[in-house]
Amino acid sequence: MRSLSECPTASLAWRRGGYSPPDFALQANGETFATLTFLDGERTLARVETAEGAWTLKHLGLLAPVVTLREEGEKTTLATFHPHALRHGKLEFLDGAVFDWTWHPDGGAFLDPGGIALVRLHAYPGRDLTSPAGLERCDVDLNLTSFARFRHALLAAFGWYLVLFDHQRERDAVAAETALRL
């Protein structure tokens, strides 16, 4: 696996590898720059791996719906995502770095404090985020001039986790509503 800082392009894609558990690889030009694998059936715990290391993402529940980022095997939370109204949110790192998350009809983006998109995610063209078929691909556009380029792989993985988690939640709500009608 190569470091995303060595990637020759600003356009990459998350592609599904396996289905049980679901796993994805962030790829460009046939090379892998990061992976994301869900570790539980509810898709609340995931493992992210890049050339720089491995981390876990964990959604912490309904009453306090934050998502944490930790180095794999460690207890210290390196970053916490706090959702806001309209599904937007803020990702705050332990070192003080802060990135806003904004939703778009087909995905989302992490923005720097000045409102410039650092990492933008687009669900596979033609797929509705509420489709019961599941998401298999997400295009990723990077801002290569950003000061936070060393965090692009984590931001891309965190964003994809949020899109996938939201898709799962929406799909489960539609399934529950359909079951009630039957």
Average pLDDT score over residue span 50-74: 89
In residues, how long is the chain?
A: 182
Most confident of 37-41, 152-156, 174-178: 152-156
DSSP 4: G
Share of the chain above pLDDT 70, in %: 84
Average pLDDT score over residue span 168-178: 52
Residue 97 carries which side chain, given as an amino acid letter? A
- Other C-beta atoms within 10 Å of 136: how many? 15
Share of the chain above pLDDT 90, in %: 51
Can you tell me the distance from the alpha carbon of 21 to that of 11, in angstroms, rounded to the nearest whole number?
26
Most confident of 17-21, 107-111, 122-126, 135-139: 107-111
Given a cut of 60, is residue 29 above it in pLDDT? Answer: yes
Average pLDDT, the chain: 83
Helices (H), 58-119: none
Closest CA to 21 of 47, 60, 55: 47
Residue 89 carries which side chain, given as an amino acid letter? G
Average pLDDT score over residue span 138-151: 85
- Other C-beta atoms within 10 Å of 43: how many? 17
